Structure 1
Amino acid sequence: MKSLNKALSIAAILGLSLMSVVASAAQKIAVVDVQLVLQSLPQVAAIEQKINSEFEAQIQEVTAMREEGNFLMEKLQREAATMSEEQKQELQQQIQALGQQMQQKGQPLQQNMQRRTAEERNKLLGLIKQAIDGIAAADGYDMVINAQSVPFAKDQFDISQKVLDQVSKAN
């Protein structure tokens, strides 16, 4: 009786393990390289141009300050031998004040540009997610994995180009 129960238990375990192998073999899995898709989108260049034009006046202001600071430093280096100590100190103070102004304007500008870039990037990631969901549903994929999480996948499982094509058409 004990050997019969043992045999039935082993048979049940083997049967369940075979069913799980069959069930996992029936799953359809795809891979997508989200970073590659994001970098390849034509919308990325348009977004970059949009953000640059949005902050164009501030960028020009900081650039002009940088150029003026460079000019004053070159002037100090060129003419230091013929300047009095008072003139040198005055020029150094101008350079220092200009550097502080540039930092006060440049740092918030950089933060604002990074914030806007992240907002636009998140919109694109949303479009990519929608495209992945749509392709997965249409082609019957049970699972779509980010290609960077997988050490190797055959090209036949990669749907990155399909996602890129679909998102490129979105805008």
Structure 2
Amino acid sequence: MGRGTLVYGTPTGMRFAREKHFSIGSQSMTDVDAQLQDMDGAGIDLQVIFPTVFLQPMSEDILFEAALMRSYNTWMGKTGARRPDRLKWAAIVPLRDPRLAIEELHRARQLGATVVGLFGTVGETMLHFYSFLAGGILERHLAPGPRFSMLVAASRHS
């Protein structure tokens, strides 16, 4: 492993995950019924699901990374659609390409995303950098004004 390498493991493959009160299917969102049962047991009515795997760039190839994000959003759209009254989810968009980000933002909204995950930077570039403003991501497609928090409501915007 070289400089800048990140190693991700599947937490549900660890012994610790098997010892938890919640099933592996619930932890991995592969068993929606188990997830809902666990939520009921914990007194949770609604869950907003946010992926942590995209906290770091997944590839130097922007188009490949965008495809991974589209795949995640498609999967979450299908998973969340099983119980949209209880399972909400955050879309992830490829901000390294503002045009693709706008396209994916609109597609994810159609799939049922409630929010979009945003971070203060895209790589080493701050979100207020001209390429994001010129693409209109922050002005036309997300909440107007100085609300640059991690999660910005996407369902209110066209």
Q: What is the TM-score of this pair, normalised by structure 2? A: 0.23
More helix by share: 1
Task: Give 1 or 2 for the bigger CA radius of gyration.
Answer: 1
